[in-house]
Amino acid sequence: MTLDAGGQAIDISARDIDSLSVLPLAILPLETEALRRIRMIKDSRLESAIEIFSGESVGSGLIYLSNLRETFPRVTLDDCDMLAAVAELHSFDVYSLRISLRNIGIEVDAQKHLCLSEAKQRELQEYIRPFTERLIKQIYGGTEANVDTTTIATLFHDPDVNAAREKLRNIARNLSIPLQDVPQFLADYGDIYLSVAYYRNCLDSVQPVIDDFLATLDEIKQHREMMQNQELMKVCKHLEGKLGNMKTLLTSRFDTFTSNTDDMWQDMNAERFGNFRQMVEDSHSVLGGLLCVLSIKMTVWSDNFPLHSMAGPSRRADFIMTEMRQGLLN
């Protein structure tokens, strides 16, 4: 049970909190109580809509903002304006929202509402481990073999109060920061690399489907009969280029983070980490936006073609022209 922005108790699922394309409206300071119990989603064509119900047996009931007052006649003008602004955001992941909501003037308690679920944080620990181990090596000089590397917090938690205090002093001394700043430094360090891990995990999750989709595009382009359809060939070529550019930009950003991490640890201090943190946070909206598009479109593709052999190239080509191109090329 979670308290929403209006102080009401509302269940928000971990799956929604961890999503790129789902925004539980409970986190927004909306005046219309009925809206705070549902969510906004990005549909298969990348348009934002209010989802009033969903389920495998009943599908999904979507209301677009142009028709919002027909279902919620008492919605306030302020709420309409807020939802319209939020609908324009390119991603609903927690890291993008921290930046985007602030930029459009919507105040949200980030620590309460814009954090990944505990389950997702545990899932991402393997991605974070190399960065945690880097910090441990800096603090202990590689001599602390028994330190738990799964979470930053364990670096200064110790049942022995004196031992815990000494660890804090080691961190402060080796990172050239005041003792009282150590807990916040560790929290920031863990959070910024958790964001990088989250985005990497999102890309890894859709990569097999991207590969399958690109293989389909290549198959269609080489199909003797389909090669005569100039519009289809044009769409396939553009989609191939679009996905290639998106993947290149994403991997380039991740490579930059890794390279800057290496440079930062040559002479680690709070200022250099602050610069690195700002660079990563400045990338959140771009990464979130690209990955939201990929996640939605690749989910649509895998839902309709879970196996490459389940449909021939003609059926897949029709789906590309009617569904996959929407939102990507127009």
Q: Which pLDDT tens digit goes with each residue over 196-238? A: 999 999 999 999 999 999 999 999 999 999 999 999 999 999 9
Is residue 240 situated within a structural domain? yes
In this structure, the answer to whether residues 203 and 237 fall within a common structural domain is yes
Residue 119 lies in a domain: no
Helix (H) or strand (E) holding 183: helix 182-221
Q: Is residue 288 part of a domain?
A: yes
Residue 43 belongs to a domain: yes
Specify the pTM: 0.90
Beta bridge partners of 53: 61
Residue 260, SS3 per DSSP: helix
Q: How many domains does the chain have?
A: 2
Q: What CA–CA distance (Å, rounded) separates 198 from 196?
A: 5
Element (DSSP H or E) covering residue 302: helix 270-304
pLDDT tens track, the chain, 330 positions: 565 666 666 788 999 999 999 999 999 999 999 999 999 999 999 999 999 876 554 456 899 999 999 999 999 999 999 999 999 999 999 999 999 999 999 999 988 899 999 999 999 999 998 888 887 776 666 555 455 555 666 655 555 667 667 777 877 887 788 888 888 888 899 999 999 999 999 999 999 999 999 999 999 999 999 999 999 999 999 999 999 999 999 999 999 999 999 888 888 888 889 999 999 999 999 999 999 999 999 999 999 999 887 889 999 999 999 999 999 986
Q: Give the tokens for residue 249.
A: 């930009």
Residues in the chain: 330
Cα separations (Å) of 239 from 124, 221, 248, 275, 326? 30, 12, 14, 36, 11
CA nearest to 217, candidates 325, 313, 328 = 313
The pLDDT value recorded for residue 184 is: 87
pLDDT at 237: 97
CA 280 to chain centre: 13
Q: Please report the pLDDT score of residue 144 as a whole number.
A: 52
Residue 44 has a pLDDT of 94
The confidence score (pLDDT) of residue 168 equals 78
The boundaries of the domain holding residue 99 are 2-111
Answer yes or no: is 118 within a domain: no
Give the domain-ending residue among 58, 89, 111.
111
Query: In the listed set 111, 142, 175, which residue is the last one of a domain according to the structure?
Result: 111
Note whether 51 and 190 are same-domain residues.
no
Domain identity same for 91 and 232: no
